[in-house]
Amino acid sequence: MDNAAITALLKQNFGLDPYTSKVLVVGLGNTGISVAHYLQGLNFKFAIIDSRPKPPMMDDFFQKMPDTPVFTGGFDDAAFKVATHLVVSPGVSLNEQAIVKAIANGSKVISDIDLFASSVDTPIVGISGSNGKSTVTTMLGEMAKAAGIQVGLGGNLGTPALDLLALNAHLYVLELSSFQLERTSALNAAAATVLNVSADHLDRHADINEYALEKQRIFKGDGAMIINTDDPIVYEMQAKGRKTITFSITKNADFHLAFRGNTEYLMHNDSCLMPLAELPLEGRHNASNALAALALGVSIGLDEQLMCEALRKFKGLNHRMQRIAEIRGVTWVNDSKATNIGACVAALQGYSRKVILIAGGDAKGADMNELTPAIKEKARSVVVMGKDAEQIKLAINGCVPVYSAENMVQAVNIAADIAENGESVLLSPACASLDQYKNYEDRGEKFANAVLALVKPGASATTSASQRSPVAKRTPLAQGSQG
């Protein structure tokens, strides 16, 4: 689409006019900067505001856009008072007093996803859910590439949506968070899915029902709905009259699992697509992710054989059920991206044998008691750490042994001391990371480093491709206090 067509749509959809509108971009992070470049390219009048005294990206931004008004160190009412439109970054709550007041005074809230959707005339696939959305987004992107399609991949994952416009792609696959969706009204995806809903971000959403309603906004429009029939909340999101494709790992659906003889297959109705054993990912929940990606791909016309070839080559994402090493017969798995209870439960349920679980961090207001049944069923012992470690210990309530650790090195050494040959140690925190780490990636890297430090130079350990180096044993640190 050319700029004139985009500007006309923005005026039609949101009353945005390059001559009369005054846009305030709230948040100077990756999303805010992508919005600034977009608005500048269309000659809109805008300013940026950030509550931090000096956002990390401010110096670089000023070098590229020195004439843009930027307000920092708080949310000044004066800046909001003159704004006709607010583009609020996902990391900023709409309940901020200055934003609430601006909306009450007539300012319109739009999102970067609204701007993006008004700027492309090629298909968009939207993927949301509490868990697995990054994996499914990346899977579908690899499937599209295998089919020879120029695809733009981003949104909540990696590249901000508006920065993808430079690709002029033939297909866009967007991972979308509840925070992005709650302020989005113009998205009409060719295909969309909510993979699952479990308690998450309850520090920003009133309750799980409100959280689910924000997720459901991804289905607005008339595109295909890809529905996980294993999740009761998602199942209820189906809408009459809409094209719907279902997937399940527990029952019959359009895409499901089934045995043919002694071999379990990924199925499309009655057709065997590929043996489940050929999917190179840990955990049964990744079978659900693969079925979701296949359903999305079929809905937009991708070839099933090419999609299966892409799945066979898919090695997963860093920090998402990532196998780090096998040391003295113990497998170490990094699932640091499991920042909520549902992700941890899914990881645990993927194991047929009990594991040693490392968990803890910032629970974000979630009820840790919801973790207890999965721990009782799938964990032999749990090592807890971080801000809300005590909440997890109280929730477990003695059903399995619990050990306390002050930091990741101690947690790994405790786990090494109690793990037995043939077992797995799983870092799947069920909590956010910001109480002790920069982000979940930093937490996962600290875990991997601590695992590899268990062995001395000169001996060997089986490691993931990204961690290949000769390593060997060492004696664990003293065990933490048992709860």
Q: Which residues are identified as catalytic?
A: 133, 156, 201
> What is the layout of strands, in order, in the sheet containing 330-334?
402-404, 379-384, 355-359, 424-427, 330-334, 322-327, 462-463
| Partners of residue 244 on adjacent β-strands | 225
CA dist 227 and 229 (Å) reads: 6
Taking alpha carbons only, the member of 377, 368, 369, 356 closest to residue 428 is 356
Phi, psi of 116, deg, nearest 5: -65, -50
